[in-house]
Structure 1
């Protein structure tokens, strides 16, 4: 059960150290996926590890080289790739909404003690935002025009504070790595499936190792799902933490709660988002029903906590238990309706 005390118990230094370790573990997990995919193709397609196979595991070496390239790209170019994928554009200070956004980001950078990040907008009616970058020096915040239109200044400030919290907690590196590496797993899995489907039948009949082809094939098919579940598990708790950290910056939990309510009621999906980048955003851009649920299944399949639960916690922080209780009842009704 998520509580306010559990969210704010760690200081910034602890969070950054913890996120550094998490980043390393995530990279290792994805490298393991790449390696296992290569081994599976070697076993099924090349008859590797038998007297009939090649002396070296060709597909595994290709997969490892590919994974090294993807990891390097994720760290050095991940932010640019993500911003390009949503058609992010630089602010035009001549536009009043852009100028106000720049001022808000400047205020929140000062409040958080972070460097001023680069600020972008993307032209889309869906109200949303995200932060990216491998570290504070390279950080960037991107906001949709839909969010600037829908929210007032204080509410926009709450959203920006949430994104600054991701930068301050060093979440952006973790989430950026996940986005690029997840895409790499999907590409490699697709390559493995095409290689096998376009090849001779799965291993020769009578092979003593034929049964091992079944789990190898299964791994190839489900590896994108498993890696996506890993990404979702990492992402959910970070949203609670970023909400709580944003309140530390603004001292105004109601502004963030109101922003979440407006975004929830707008219910507009962000067309440029994908399942590989959904975890980056302030609220889930895909707008699926599973995102309104809680529990272990939702934790595995959704990149964000239920939006009503986030709002409820913010009302508790604001000292409004009545509002929080009302949302709790609504959340129970949503769970029961499914």
Structure 2
């Protein structure tokens, strides 16, 4: 992987860059649609490529390990071929999913023992076998195995967890050196900064991760319930320490406003289930605010879903029709809303890139934050 930092905004820390892997270029800042089980929920690959058009999407180690199982992915030639996706893929290590199974898992120095949410079967994730699983899945960018702490989190627990995540990182790195690449292309490894919302821990963790010398770095353990101001404060601390010449990935964030504010703090890569999950519940994100399409006010509104026409669904369908689909519980309504939201998120990060390169990102960002912070 190569990272070419094109420009840093003079009035903020926002950056425009290009990541190059064996599956092509990723222009940053970038939002990565979440394709947890080998599909971006509700979206055909043709729509994903031609309308939403992301340079990279996500898969998830925990879910793909359980279903369809890595043996199936190996037979297919890796996740790219299995799902017929010829662009970049990043896999989360499964640490967050294990964190969310708090009542069905046990964490110790060796790793995590957990029960499947599908059938209750027992499994163990260790730094070593999670690296093996991600080799077998075959993503272009793979993540270190870490513990994601909850919010709020006791300081002593956060400190112990952070140090264990660092020890796990060393084991990940040592084991990866023994594992050959599969499928004829290379993989890039990102470690993850932890430390909850404690400034001293975030600094320690950022220093440790920076010194690991990886080709890119991630920030985890945020967007788990803490106020946005704390998220921004932790991000600012960490980006001041992580190397400028390597991409920075803020995991699991967030709202359109969160994304713009974190771009301003020097983040290059984002992912979140919000645009797809909220779409399935009838929430549409636009440049002028959010729409709850289920509201009665849209019942006889025959204007386009979004006159900006970022994707084809925005002008092909009306608000009244989309509201009708949700009222009738038709799956097409969820698909339309999902395409719209993902298209908007990709448009937003690409607009941010254009304004960084044009030198007016800060002014544009401040205007967009005000516009988007409305209920329509």
With normalisation by structure 1, the TM-score equals: 0.25
Question: When you count strand as a share of all residues, which structure comes out higher?
Answer: 2
Question: When you count helix as a share of all residues, which structure comes out higher?
Answer: 1
With normalisation by structure 2, the TM-score equals: 0.23
